[in-house]
Amino acid sequence: MRIDRFMSLHLAINRRDVKLMLAQKRILIDGVVADDTLQVIDEFSRIVFDGQVLQASSPTYIMMNKPVGVVSATKDEQHKTVVDLLEYTESASLHIVGRLDLNSSGLLLLTNDSRWSRKLMKPEKKVSKVYRVTVGKPLTEAYISAFYEGMYFEYEDITTRPARLTIISEQVAEVTLVEGRYHQIKRMFGRFRNPVLALHRESIGGLLLDPELAPGESRPLKTEEIRQLS
């Protein structure tokens, strides 16, 4: 967004007034006097007007080990949300990058950097998400080809992209998806009338859930982890 638009929205003034303020050198952007109405700022630019901070937030990236029974949302009337579990003071500005169902667990990312999360979730990016799935009935080789070939979902009128399924034990599989349709894994096993008993996300884009994190715990991403997913 341009600085003149930001200021006029923020202070409910017209852009001509902003031009005057810029000429009077009353606005600082990231510590530097601003003098150009065309200067572009983003959600993390520090904006100071007459010594008063109008905007100052830094990008935050968090991984959580989501427990079962907690909603992937910022607010919910009925259940505890993942944001309720955070200790971070700026948690109100965070959003979730790729939800998990109420009864799913594992790696969940939260951020206030919408450009980063949008890029990460772009369908063309085909970011792999790996899940460990426990089902109610024994698995067979037929699952592997059915998941790979894709399944037609009538409601969305789409065919799922090739998914990799590896049989780990009689009732446990590892499933890799490059998309995230509503209840996708449960619906795919549902085609075999095989109920999902447990669903745990192990990684996103090669980033593994930190084994040190107990269910409900979280930590900031490291610089190299942020870069890995950028």
Binding stretches for ligand URA (CB under 6 A): 100-101, 104, 183-186, 199
Q: How far is the CB of 158 from ligand URA (least distance, A)?
A: 15
Residue 48 or 199: the one with the smaller Cβ distance to ligand URA is 199
Q: How far is the CB of 229 from ligand URA (least distance, A)?
A: 18
Query: CA of 127: how far to CAs of 47, 207, 217, in Å?
Result: 34, 11, 24
Alpha helices in the chain (DSSP H): 3-11, 15-23, 114-121, 141-149, 184-190, 223-228
Contacts of 31 (CB under 8 A, 6+ apart): 46
**For the chain, what is the largest distance between any 2 Cα atoms, rounded to a whole number of angstroms?**
74
CB atoms closer than 10 angstroms to residue 196? 21
User: How far apart (Å, rounded) are the C-alpha atoms in residues 139 and 137?
Assistant: 7
DSSP 80-139: -BTGGG---TTGGG-EEES---TT-EEEEEEES-HHHHHHHH-GGG---EEEEEEESS--
Residue 3 or 135: the one with the smaller Cβ distance to ligand URA is 135
Q: How far is the CB of 37 from ligand URA (least distance, A)?
A: 46
Identify the active-site residue in 35, 76, 84, 101.
Answer: 101
Q: How far is the CB of 182 from ligand URA (least distance, A)?
A: 8
For this structure, is 101 an active site residue? yes
Answer whether 220's CB lies under 8 Å from 55's CB. Answer: no
Residue 13 or 151: the one with the smaller Cβ distance to ligand URA is 151
Q: How far is the CB of 185 from ligand URA (least distance, A)?
A: 3
Residue 91 or 104: the one with the smaller Cβ distance to ligand URA is 104
Coil vs helix vs strand at 184: helix
Residue 61 or 131: the one with the smaller Cβ distance to ligand URA is 131
R_g (Cα) of the chain, nearest Å: 22
Answer whether 44's CB lies under 8 Å from 58's CB. Answer: yes
User: How far apart (Å, rounded) are the C-alpha atoms in residues 91 and 75?
Assistant: 12
Catalytic residues: 101
